[in-house]
Structure 1
Amino acid sequence: MAKKEKIVLAYSGGLDTSVILPWLKETYGYEVIAYAADVGQGAELKGIKQKARKTGAKKTYVEDLRKEFVEDYVWPTLKSGAIYENEYLLGTSIARPLIAKRQVEIAQAEGATAVAHGATGKGNDQVRFELTFMALDPSLKIVAPWKDSNFTMRSREAAIDYAKERNIPIDQSKKKIYSRDRNLWHISHEGADLEDPWNEPKDDLFVMSNPISKTPNKADYVEIGFEQGIPVKLNGRAINGVTMIERLNDIGGKHGVGQADLVENRLVGIKSRGVYETPGGTILVQAHKFLEMLTLDRETTHYKQQIALKYADLVYDGQWFSPLREALDAFVDQTQKNVTGTVKLKLFKGRCTLAGMKSPKSLYSSDLASFTMGAEYDSTDATGFIKLFGLPMKVSGVVDRQTSGKTSGRRTRKTAKKKTARRKTTKRTTRKK
């Protein structure tokens, strides 16, 4: 009897991967190794080993990757300033390359010939998983059931029916059918009534944060301390990254901070509507942005804003393990050398606003910024500066007047004379009547 080939499935225990695991065995006869990465899902991983085994997994890995997730994926993205389409803080996007990387490592250790994921053929995750597989081990076969002609479950309703037929335990029902992805950084919600952009998110949709109507009527303040762009202190106390994000999720969620409702442009060309909760991440992104205002010079700030757009695209598009992303990290790290200091933020009714900031590397000078003219700034120097700065515009203006200004002026005077003559004629005609 031929030895069965091994396949490593990225297994979350959710609806899709719960039905894909037995499907891989039934359809292709694979020996399935289930792999679940703990990137901060919390209670979602409870009992996942037992569930995978009952569903047919030969072996199951459950690994705590939260520290690596924060230090090697979240912090670089935070330092870059990357936000996709001005709203999305890339919560799912930055977790996928880590999950796929470890999946490849397990496949290599187990002697597996293939890897599988449960991403649909319409989404971005299929790209993120598969580009990582291709970058780290091109020899592995990629099995993506949603794109397989033998996979007949073309809707979440069909997947639910398949699970019920085989007594596979799932949390979803045809009435409770949101597609969610959660990690330490955020939770996303898609599907069901959210597919109509006219529908307002229901209060019971939110998981990590309170609806704004249920937030406290009193604000809270938090202080974030940074060292070279990395958050290292919370309210004056040193703290590791995982714990910091967990605590900021709690306090930010209490005040409804970090809720985003957007229609985004997927890489595959489809517009999709999603609601995101990123309470702790929003606080950190805002704090980092404010500290850069204080510590980065004008040219570096403006150029880094351009880099942030490209960085966001690379992460969103699954190109984490690309040479360009690694090269951009080198630039970003150089810009962060002076991004050290403390930012105080006010959390209230969904808003996260600046309440104060300070830095030993601050480029802000109260003497220079003051309206009072002092010895440190000779205002007469501005006259020469403005003349030189505006010289190209002045030359352009002179040339325009020489080539068209006078002609335009004559036409304007002729037009004005004609209008005056018409008004006089009209008045005389009116008086005669």
Structure 2
Amino acid sequence: MTSTTDDPAAAPAAEAPPDPVLSAMADPAFLRDPYPTYAALRRDRPVHRTPHGVWYVSRHADIETALADLRLSNDRDRMTSALFARDGGLRALSRLTERLGRVMTNTDPPDHARLRGLVNKAFTARRVEQLRDRIQQITDDLLDAPQTRGGVADYIADVAERLPITVVCALFGIPDADRDRVADWFHVLGDITGDIDRAEAAVIAFEDYLGSLIRARRGGTGDDIISALTAAQARGDRLTDDELLSTCFMLVTAGDQTTTHLLGNGLLALLRNPRQLALLRETPGLTAAAVDELARYDTPTQAIIRVVAEDAPLAGHTLPAGDLVYLLLGSANHDETRFPDPDRLDLTRATGPGAARPLTFGHGPHFCLGAPLARLQTRIALATTLRRLPNLRLAVPQEDLTWHTNPLQRRLRTLPITY
């Protein structure tokens, strides 16, 4: 990466050079292993500003502070304006943020608390726990197919992508007949570095589809989340039609991607660390702690973006209003000041009071609502995979694996396995 200024007063030039950090993130070596780059940032430029008015924050303590600071906003309109003020892919991304409605994930207080409170009533721990048997059944069904093909599978296509979409459809009452169509939209939306026109068309089509489900559920007594949200609106719980649609869109899409990436990254990490894989086979009681360690070790959501709503101090710098801030969760989860020997997978790593908490699912008011569901699916899927697929190993050399180029997420394209 080339040297850049950390002076907040330096205005972006009209013809600024490419963002050096984003350029590094597109490098094939970074896609294979981003953590050496993060380590260099933590060491040399932990709170770093480019000439484009984009900050990169890489230390655990600073990111934890930033996530709790309401001056670092996730408001849709602020975000759209800040993205549009840049060029290239960020300006293109502003079309999608503008298209999305206002939901709890892209609003600030007080609207955020109101919307999250309404969603909490529908997305309850009881509702998630009731899915345990269904998740087990789906996982078993998915693993039946590879076993009939002679012990070869692509874990991403056969399990990691199909499990969460099936669970999400069950949770939201999306008919099985529509699952493949919904999955196609998710694939498009999951790659923000792709064709923005195609992504925008997918948003429109998916919103139209959800709108038809919402209209059909009004006044009904279904036990799915869409029915629960329409019932909340009918009770006068201050959820507008646009907010209802946008909330359903956000919950359905968010419920899919993180689990897919966590499953793929997690199984690959175990295959690369056979002693840890053997330990997990021998000690099933480790599964819950193992999932948290796998999520730390190769974080599915590598970064989240905030926009500075008003000048905010951070680690001796002043972040000026209007700047964008990339909070590098993947880097925070490898911060050697919080996690001893962070590049080592250790399924017995200390947890609980006093232990450093990974930022995999965020922190503060926007902590991921779907974290319990993602953890539950991953625990069941990994435990079942290890139990049912003996002698599990990669079917290709590690260097042949490829990764999507989305800098905000870390996800494999395929994971060929044999057993």
**TM-score by shorter chain over 0.5:** no
Structure richer in helix, relative to its length: 2
Structure richer in strand, relative to its length: 1
TM-score when normalising by structure 2: 0.31
Query: Greater CA radius of gyration, 1 or 2?
Result: 1
TM-score when normalising by structure 1: 0.30
Structure with bigger RCO (C-alpha 8 Å, 6+ apart): 2
